[in-house]
Amino acid sequence: MRPACGTIRFGLRLATLSLVMVAGTAPTPAAEPATTPTEPAAGLCVVTYNLRFASPTGPNAWPIRRPLVVEAIRRLDPDVMGTQEGLYQQLRELASDLPDYDWIGLGRDGGSRGEFMAVFYRRSRLEPMAFDHFWLSDTPDRIGSATWGNRNRRMVTWVQFLDRTTGQKFYLWNTHLDHEVQAAREKGAALIRERVATLKDGLPVVLVGDFNAAAGGNPAYDILTRDGFFTDTWLMAGEREGENLGTFNGFEKVPVGGPRIDWILVRGRAEVARVRIDAWQKEGRFPSDHFPVAAWLRLVAGP
């Protein structure tokens, strides 16, 4: 049996756009988790995972990687997980393989088109109360907009959850900053900070994603963490696993020495028992070109 996990809470005002919500129905057999979390009761397991979009052919084609990704997720057993790069059919298949989870998302090109910042959540514990999406551009409420020189559209998906275990509410924000244009990364980080700053309810905010920027070594990180606006759970944790690893493996090797470009940040009162860069692979094969990052949190509403 898995232990109960934790609490978060926050609120937000953003333009209402579209939603895709998919519930898995037909599970695919997969190996049992190799590790079992041992966090205190009511701790919340949060994961960020760049899935790598579903290439149809080649040595890292999605049909080959799919069971490995499912096993990697089951090993961590998240309560809520922000994913990046997933395509619509890819996410539908993943939801089918993970029947305990539902998901919310919107393609960054609108509707089911393009990559998603999908949020998966354990339906037995978490109930979505609100959600929205915005684009990292000068016109953030315009679907598919990009104005900062980046070729790929970038966006945020957020969900407000009710935690049935604790009775509290929280938000999970999920993003993917640009991989080419540093100015776009910085402006994206600034826009996220600006929107979070409009929250007036004093509730914690968890921000996850692939930031394409080294934690502690890029202005985008500084923008988000300056003056303690967000705090990096990696630095807060009582225990860190994968201390000296980077999070991008490129399907080639474990990147010893970093950089850590996939982060879990928190705004508000929080205790972080443990964090992990999970470098698991199977028979020399990586599930994705990124490693998932996990944090086991206890979040508290109020000042």
The model's pLDDT over 42-77, given as tens digits with 9 standing for 90+, comes to 699 999 999 999 999 999 999 999 999 999 999 999
Per-chain mean pLDDT for the chain:
88
Question: What is the average pLDDT across 85-92?
Answer: 98
Q: Is the pLDDT of residue 9 over 70?
A: no
Alpha carbons 39 and 32: distance in angstroms, whole number: 19
Domain boundaries, the chain: 20-300
Q: Which of 10-14, 169-173, 210-214, 245-249 has the lowest mean pLDDT?
A: 10-14
Contact 220, 183 (CB under 8 A): no
Q: Which residue has the tokens 């089951």?
A: 74
Q: What is the pLDDT of residue 38?
A: 43
Dihedral angle of Cα 159, 265, 87, 290, to the nearest 10 degrees:
-160
Please give the CATH architecture assigned to the domain spanning 20-300. Answer: 4-Layer Sandwich (3.60)
Q: What is the pLDDT of residue 267?
A: 94
Q: What is the pLDDT of residue 203?
A: 84
Q: Is the pLDDT of residue 271 over 50?
A: yes
> Which pair of tokens denotes residue 221?
């990180």
Contact 204, 230 (CB under 8 A): no
Contact 80, 49 (CB under 8 A): no
Q: Which of 16-30, 130-144, 171-185 has the lowest mean pLDDT?
A: 16-30
Q: What is the pLDDT of residue 2?
A: 46
pLDDT in tens, 93-104: 999 999 999 999
Alpha carbons 135 and 57: distance in angstroms, whole number: 30
Question: Rounded to 5 degrees, what are φ and ψ at 68?
Answer: -70, -40
Question: What is the average pLDDT across 246-265?
Answer: 97
CB atoms within 10 A of CB 110: 16
Q: Is the pLDDT of residue 250 over 70?
A: yes
Q: Is the pLDDT of residue 32 over 80?
A: no
At residue 165 the predicted structure's pLDDT band, cuts being 50, 70 and 90, is: very high
At residue 167 the predicted structure's pLDDT band, cuts being 50, 70 and 90, is: confident
Q: Is the pLDDT of residue 157 over 80?
A: yes
Q: Is the pLDDT of residue 20 over 50?
A: no
Question: What is the average pLDDT across 6-35?
Answer: 36
* Between 7 and 209, residue with greater pLDDT: 209
Q: Which residue has the tokens 């049935």?
A: 164
Q: What is the pLDDT of residue 303?
A: 59
Query: In the 3-class helix/strand/coil scheme, how is the chain assigned residue by residue?
Result: CCCCCCCCCCCCCCCCCCCEEEECCCCCCCCCCCCCCCCCCCCEEEEEEECCCCCCCCCCCHHHHHHHHHHHHHHHCCCEEEEECECHHHHHHHHHHCCCEEEEECECCCCCCCCECCEEEECCCEEEEEEEEEECCCCCCCCCCCCCCCCCCCEEEEEEEEECCCCCEEEEEEEECCCCCHHHHHHHHHHHHHHHHCCCCCCCEEEEEECCCCCCCCHHHHHHHHHHCCEEHHHHCCEEECCCECCECCCCCCCECCCCCEEEEEECEEEEEEEEECCCCECCECCCCECCEEEEEEEECCC
Please report how the helices 88-97 and 62-76 are oriented relative to each other, as an axis angle in degrees rounded to 10.
Answer: 50
Alpha carbons 87 and 181: distance in angstroms, whole number: 23
Instruction: Work out the percent of the chain whose per-residue pLDDT is above 70.
Output: 85
At residue 202 the predicted structure's pLDDT band, cuts being 50, 70 and 90, is: confident
At residue 21 the predicted structure's pLDDT band, cuts being 50, 70 and 90, is: very low
Q: Is the pLDDT of residue 260 over 50?
A: yes
Q: Is the pLDDT of residue 18 over 50?
A: no
At residue 166 the predicted structure's pLDDT band, cuts being 50, 70 and 90, is: confident
Q: What is the pLDDT of residue 219?
A: 98
Q: What is the pLDDT of residue 177?
A: 98
Contact 43, 87 (CB under 8 A): no
CB under 8 Å to 135, separation ≥6 — which residues? 108, 141, 142, 143, 144, 145, 146, 153, 154, 155, 156
